[in-house]
């Protein structure tokens, strides 16, 4: 709310214009995403009013546009499909409950200061998830786009519906490709108006939106039953997590352009409030929309007042203009969805990630395949598990380099990569990983292997510049290694032990035994040991 | 089998003596552990014959004594309790199947070379698991020790049984405390002989072992049904994992004393063969026993021939002497178990771990409490999850140190811990962790905080000596950070980038932008930048 107290008159034109332009974009999107979620179109409008106001009160981003988004609509449909038939009153009630639960979770995470959880979805996993989900969404929209009835084959398409759908798709694609800037963003609204007018004027026999009840439903706080909590907690959690990650990455990237600070814990609160507001006004799960936030930013929004403006206009539409939506064909909504989500499939991210890091690229692909083969929720879980597993896998296979001194300096580097000098009888090894239970045995084996390759070694210097921590298991390994080496006539020395690690090591058995054999730097160790050898 | 081909006559006396002494220890233990598993005592004897021979053929440790152990007996009882009533034919058949499944899994892991999985149980987790399981086992033995009927309260104890049980317990404890070496290890056998003679001679009315059928059952390969696999796979997996970890740590610590190499993949094969042999001869899950392996080693065993000797003697006992076990009181077996497992509760490990590393100590305690509060299988899972979580948690909160040059050297250290020289306008930071999605935001925040604390900074030098890897998410963060800093008039430099990391970075956008700003060492960076400043 700080933005309201510091509000300057100069910001008003930008906020007003941005609010109006976002509304033009949000109307087709919110109708389409409600249908994608298996809900009546007006629920998309409900989810685009109070959440904007709630986020304006509690969030930290100045330009985030909160409301229905494609991914959460897909996740809502996936979560509710096994519980009720789309469109039934039970299904609608469950969608509202899902928003309420997700809002309560996000608010609870904010209270517990769990904003850091967004970190546990890596960029490749998010990219893979969005790509997989986008493909699922596009596949789900082919039937309404072409007018194929449920269970029908590709040749049972309705020619009129297909003509409207494919024409709209081509128009939206061309607008995106050839009309840069904000003008191009108006294309979905143009398509809606034109297609609705055409359908009404020619009395075309295609599936249309039909009656949309006017006005918001009575505000109500949905209280979930214990049974509902038991069935919905996992989908609500994943929706909260995905929504938060999507939203905060949009907020960060836009905020970064203006030097704004995004506070993750406050963002959790803002999104929690938005979802609770959505539930209270008969909507479904919402989060920050990438497309609409970018438009809001580009159209000159300075503060969340633009969101409040958009909410007011939407409320006006809902109060008086829902009749105008009667002849809007479903095929147009399908085309809108397809064009909107196709930008989520980022081939260049896969290409760049593949070039930089095969492991990350594998996590991206596995997440996308997980979403396609196993399902949306399972895909997120697979992705998180894989990327955490990748970190542990890397840490469990440490690099161990033989070091030598770069001539004329006190700097030590890998002898295989640099022309470096070594001291006879002294083997200097650098272990490139913190030592822990997962790599203790591998480090021990690696050290033994390096020693076996240099039979004359009588002094072993471990350079710990890359070792940030040694856990109890690895400490036991080192203690055993030292004893074992001593028995074979090889003396162990340490160098470049970091301060906090030194504090821990000093009082241990190993620390006591090595007391006189720990050097500040590899250079000092080699000076002392080279002279003594 | 290499040991057999290289066998020397000089080893024979040691192997013979060790085989006989281990047999004296294995008879009471195998009877007791079978009863602990809810099985008739003779199954303990079955599990102590062929598994020894199978391990001698396929394992790599020269002194490991394979057979029933307390922890696996407890895990067997826990796994089978929900499926059948202890002592029933179904229960016995399931125990045999559990050994078969576990043997097949271990053999499959050997074929897949998964020996490294033992690494994923850290020492604190294993210590916590063993302590928790030992407490559960001791609690389960109080009723048979004191002769309290099932469901009875502490005052319903049977005075005669309790007198036998408590006397035996006191005797075994005293023997352990005051009779050092191998002689003390004979105490359980002495207790069994004395208590059996006393019970038979005085015709005491206490619960005794009763009829033990003579001879091995017909060898049979148990083929699990699909339904049995579905219910038993998780317990079999956890039994395999725990058995493997327990066994390999014993094998390693004994092997280390004689310079033997233990090959994890071959150990998997040896234990897999031992469990399949146990199942084929009507036994239950087995692994390397800590107590008996130590006795075997101390008694002078040189090769697995001592195990073969022990197996032959056991077969003899089973063929002709089972009648002698009729009057053996259950209370004596309970006392044997309590004394054997009490050594698994290692308070000193908790104390030392607590002193060295609070996180590891917390994992130890949580695993022990998990075993006690949730169950044996759940405890293992909690422990593994916690110790992996701890690694990720540490990695997600990296230390960032401001460095300066130690006067008279080219070595850079934390200015808060050392008297170190800095260059005005140049801030040298060392990040003490590989950069990945879990800490990218934290590193960015830490760098910003360090910059904010030194407002005059115009050059930022990141020293990557402790950074072993940068993942795609962290690369994006660094790219953004560099751009962002440049916009604020701060130039980013890197130093001590490791070779493999440099290879990855070079072709990226960040690598291209920084090309002229990467130095071999912190010292060279400061020379160049100090002169330019």
- Measure CA A248 to chain center: 8
Nearest to A471 among B118, B360, B507 (CB): B360
User: For residue A54, what are the contacts with CB-CB under 8 A and spacing of at least 6?
Assistant: A270, A273, A274, A276, A277
Best probe of the B interface among A472, A477, A507, by most B CBs < 10 A, is A472
Tens-place pLDDT, residues A47-102: 999 999 999 999 989 999 999 999 999 999 999 999 999 989 999 999 999 999 99
Residue B397's region, left for phi above 0, alpha for psi from -120 to 50, else beta, is beta
Considering only residues 229 to 258 of chain B, which have any Cβ-Cβ distance to chain A shorter than 8 Å? 256
CB contact under 8 A, B432 and A499: no
Considering only residues 416 to 435 of chain B, which have any Cβ-Cβ distance to chain A shorter than 8 Å? 417, 432-434
* Distance in Å, alpha carbon of B357 to nearest chain A alpha carbon: 7
CB contact under 8 A, A432 and B399: no
Q: CA-to-CA distance for A87 and A140, rounded, in angstroms?
A: 16
Best probe of the B interface among A468, A481, A490, A500, by most B CBs < 10 A, is A468
CB contact under 8 A, B437 and A523: no
* Distance in Å, alpha carbon of A196 to nearest chain B alpha carbon: 44
Whether B256 has a pLDDT exceeding 80, the answer reads no
- Chain A positions touching B409 (Cβ under 8 A) are 410, 520-521, 523-524
Whether B223 has a pLDDT exceeding 50, the answer reads yes
Kindly compute the dihedral angle of the four CA atoms of residues B190, B195, B200, B206, in this order, to the nearest 10 degrees.
-150
- Chain B positions touching A472 (Cβ under 8 A) are 122-124, 352-353, 356-357, 360
Q: What is the DSSP string of B299-352?
A: TT--STHHHHHHHHHHHHHHHH-GGGGTT-BHHHHHHHHHHHHHTT--HHHHHH
Task: Please name which of A272, A317, A289, A306 lies closest in space to residue A45, comparing C-alpha atoms.
Answer: A317
Whether B533 has a pLDDT exceeding 50, the answer reads no
- Top mean pLDDT of A54-68, A373-387, B342-356 is at A54-68
CB contact under 8 A, A507 and B355: yes
* Interface residue B397 vs chain A (CB under 8 A): no
- pLDDT band, residue B150 (cuts 50/70/90): confident
Q: How high is the pLDDT of residue A260? A: 78
Contact B433, B387 (CB under 8 A): no
* Interface residue A508 vs chain B (CB under 8 A): yes
Residue B533 corresponds to which tokens in the numbers above? 């400043």
Place of tokens 């694609």: A173
Whether B126 has a pLDDT exceeding 50, the answer reads yes
Considering only residues 466 to 495 of chain B, which have any Cβ-Cβ distance to chain A shorter than 8 Å? 466-469, 471-473, 475-476, 480, 484
Tens-place pLDDT, residues B85-123: 998 999 999 999 999 999 999 999 999 988 877 777 888
* Distance in Å, alpha carbon of B2 to nearest chain A alpha carbon: 22
CB contact under 8 A, A471 and B122: yes
Place of tokens 């510049």: A465
C-alpha distances out from residue A201 to A197, A326, B338, Å: 6, 12, 90
Q: CA-to-CA distance for A240 and A443, rounded, in angstroms?
A: 40
* Distance in Å, alpha carbon of A488 to nearest chain B alpha carbon: 10
Q: CA-to-CA distance for A251 and A257, rounded, in angstroms?
A: 10
Q: How high is the pLDDT of residue B267? A: 93
Q: How high is the pLDDT of residue B531? A: 60
- Mean pLDDT (whole number) for A124-139: 90
* Interface residue A437 vs chain B (CB under 8 A): yes
CB atoms within 10 A of CB B114: 16
C-alpha distances out from residue B222 to B229, B235, B275, Å: 12, 17, 12
- Chain A positions touching B508 (Cβ under 8 A) are 356
Enter the DSSP assignment of A493. Answer: E
* Interface residue A440 vs chain B (CB under 8 A): yes
**A142 — phi, psi (to 5°)?**
-70, -40
CB contact under 8 A, B441 and A476: no
- Mean pLDDT (whole number) for A422-449: 92
Diameter over CA atoms, chain A: 99
Q: How many residues does chain A have?
A: 533
**B288 — phi, psi (to 5°)?**
-70, 130
Q: CA-to-CA distance for B259 and A209, rounded, in angstroms?
A: 80
* Interface residue B83 vs chain A (CB under 8 A): no
Contact A275, A286 (CB under 8 A): yes
Q: CA-to-CA distance for A179 and A173, rounded, in angstroms?
A: 10
CB atoms within 10 A of CB B479: 16
A491 in helix, strand or coil?
strand
Residue B318 corresponds to which tokens in the numbers above? 């089973």
Q: What is the DSSP string of A414-473?
A: ETTTS--B--TTEEEEEE-S-B-TTTHHHHHHHHHHHHHH-TT--EEEEE-TT---B-HH
CB contact under 8 A, B499 and A414: yes
Nearest to A353 among B465, B469, B472 (CB): B472
Instruction: State the alpha helices, DSSP H only, in B344-421.
Output: 347-356, 358-374, 376-395
The neighbouring-strand residues paired with B492 are: B460
Q: CA-to-CA distance for B29 and B449, rounded, in angstroms?
A: 62
Nearest to A523 among B122, B256, B411 (CB): B411
Between A254 and A235, residue with greater pLDDT: A235
Task: Please name which of B247, B289, B241, B273 lies closest in space to residue B33, comparing C-alpha atoms.
Answer: B289
The nearest alpha carbon in chain A to B506 belongs to A356
Whether A146 has a pLDDT exceeding 70, the answer reads yes
Average pLDDT over chain B reads 90
Q: What is the DSSP string of B459-526?
A: EEEEE-TT---B-HHHHHHHHHHHHHHHHTT-EEEEE---HHHHHHHTTSHHHHHTGGGEESSHHHHH
Q: How high is the pLDDT of residue A531? A: 60
Residue A442 corresponds to which tokens in the numbers above? 């591998």
* Interface residue B439 vs chain A (CB under 8 A): yes
Q: CA-to-CA distance for A207 and A189, rounded, in angstroms?
A: 19
CB contact under 8 A, B499 and A442: no
Query: Residue A491, exposed/middle/buried by CB under 10 A (0-12, 13-18, 19+)?
Result: middle
Percent of chain A whose predicted confidence (pLDDT) is above 90:
59
Best probe of the B interface among A126, A264, A436, A512, by most B CBs < 10 A, is A436
Helix (H) or strand (E) holding A173: helix A159-178
CB contact under 8 A, A520 and B413: yes
Q: CA-to-CA distance for B71 and B243, rounded, in angstroms?
A: 8
Q: How high is the pLDDT of residue A533? A: 46
Nearest to B256 among A391, A413, A480 (CB): A480
CB atoms within 10 A of CB B406: 17
User: For residue B505, what are the contacts with CB-CB under 8 A and spacing of at least 6?
Assistant: B470, B475, B497, B511, B514
Enter the DSSP assignment of A180. Answer: -
Whether B295 has a pLDDT exceeding 50, the answer reads yes
Angle formed at CA A280 by CA A277 and CA A281, multiple of 5 degrees: 90
* Interface residue B122 vs chain A (CB under 8 A): yes
* Interface residue B524 vs chain A (CB under 8 A): yes
Task: Please name which of A468, A466, A474, A333 lies closest in space to residue A399, comparing C-alpha atoms.
Answer: A466
Q: How high is the pLDDT of residue A532? A: 52
Average pLDDT over chain A reads 90
CB contact under 8 A, A411 and B507: no
* Distance in Å, alpha carbon of B119 to nearest chain A alpha carbon: 5
**A41 — phi, psi (to 5°)?**
-55, -35
Query: How many CB pairs (< 8 A) connect A and B?
Result: 171
Q: CA-to-CA distance for B242 and B244, rounded, in angstroms?
A: 5
Residue B69 corresponds to which tokens in the numbers above? 């152990």
Q: Give the count of alpha carbons within 13 A of B60, CB side only.
A: 21
- Chain B positions touching A397 (Cβ under 8 A) are none
CB contact under 8 A, A472 and B124: yes
Tens-place pLDDT, residues A175-229: 988 987 777 778 888 999 999 999 999 999 999 988 888 888 888 888 878 888 8
- Mean pLDDT (whole number) for B23-27: 88
Q: How high is the pLDDT of residue A110? A: 94
The nearest alpha carbon in chain B to A433 belongs to B468
The neighbouring-strand residues paired with B430 are: B401, B463
Q: CA-to-CA distance for B396 and B308, rounded, in angstroms?
A: 51
Instruction: State the alpha helices, DSSP H only, in B112-158.
Output: 123-146
Q: How high is the pLDDT of residue A378? A: 85
* Interface residue A122 vs chain B (CB under 8 A): yes
Residue B121 corresponds to which tokens in the numbers above? 């149980």
């Amino acid at each position: 709310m700080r933005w309201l107290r510091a509000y300057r008159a100069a910001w008003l034109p930008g906020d007003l214009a941005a609010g109006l332009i976002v509304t033009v974009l949000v109307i087709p999107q919110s109708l389409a995403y409600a249908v994608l979620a298996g809900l009546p179109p007006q629920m998309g409008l409900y989810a685009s009013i109070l959440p904007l106001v709630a986020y304006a009160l509690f969030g930290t981003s100045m330009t985030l546009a909160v409301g229905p988004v494609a991914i959460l609509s897909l996740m809502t449909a996936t979560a509710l499909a096994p519980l009720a038939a789309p469109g039934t009153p039970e299904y609608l009630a469950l969608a509202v409950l899902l928003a309420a639960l997700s809002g309560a979770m996000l608010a609870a995470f904010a209270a517990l200061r769990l904003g850091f959880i967004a970190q546990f979805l890596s960029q490749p996993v998010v990219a893979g998830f969005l790509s997989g989900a986008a493909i699922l969404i596009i596949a789900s929209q082919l039937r309404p786009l072409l007018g194929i009835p449920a269970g029908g084959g590709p040749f049972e398409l309705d020619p009129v519906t297909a003509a409207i759908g494919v024409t709209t798709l081509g128009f939206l694609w061309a607008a995106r490709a050839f009309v840069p800037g904000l003008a191009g963003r108006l294309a979905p609204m143009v398509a809606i108006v034109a297609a609705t007018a055409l359908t009404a004027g020619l009395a075309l026999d295609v599936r249309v939106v039909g009656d949309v009840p006017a006005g918001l439903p009575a505000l109500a706080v949905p209280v979930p039953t214990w049974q509902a909590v038991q069935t919905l907690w996992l989908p609500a959690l994943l929706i909260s997590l995905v929504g938060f990650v999507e939203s905060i990455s949009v907020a960060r990237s836009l905020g970064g352009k203006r030097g704004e600070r995004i506070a993750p814990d406050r963002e959790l609160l803002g999104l929690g409030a938005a979802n609770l507001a959505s539930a209270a006004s008969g909507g479904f799960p919402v989060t920050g929309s990438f497309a609409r936030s970018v438009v809001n930013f580009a159209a000159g929004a300075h503060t969340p007042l633009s969101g409040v403006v958009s909410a007011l206009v939407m409320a006006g539409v809902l109060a008086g203009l829902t009749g105008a939506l009667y002849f809007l064909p479903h095929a147009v909504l399908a085309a809108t969805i397809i064009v909107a989500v196709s930008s989520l499939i980022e081939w260049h991210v896969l290409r760049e990630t593949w070039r930089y890091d095969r492991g990350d690229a594998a996590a991206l692909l596995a997440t996308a395949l997980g979403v396609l083969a196993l399902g949306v929720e399972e895909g997120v879980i697979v992705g998180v598990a894989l990327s955490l597993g990748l970190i542990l896998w890397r840490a469990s296979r440490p690099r161990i380099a033989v070091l030598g001194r770069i001539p004329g300096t006190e700097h030590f580097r890998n002898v295989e990569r640099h022309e470096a000098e070594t001291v006879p009888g002294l083997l200097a090894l650098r272990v490139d990983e913190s030592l822990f239970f997962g790599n203790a045995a591998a480090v021990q084996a690696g050290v033994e292997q390096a020693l076996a390759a240099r039979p004359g070694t009588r002094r072993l210097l471990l350079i710990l510049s890359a070792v940030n921590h040694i856990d109890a298991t690895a400490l036991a390994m080192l203690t055993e290694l030292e004893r074992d080496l001593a028995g074979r006539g090889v003396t162990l020395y340490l160098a470049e032990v970091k301060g906090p690690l030194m504090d821990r090591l000093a009082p241990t058995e190993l620390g006591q035994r090595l007391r006189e054999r720990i050097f500040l730097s590899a250079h000092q160790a080699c000076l002392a040991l080279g002279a003594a050898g």
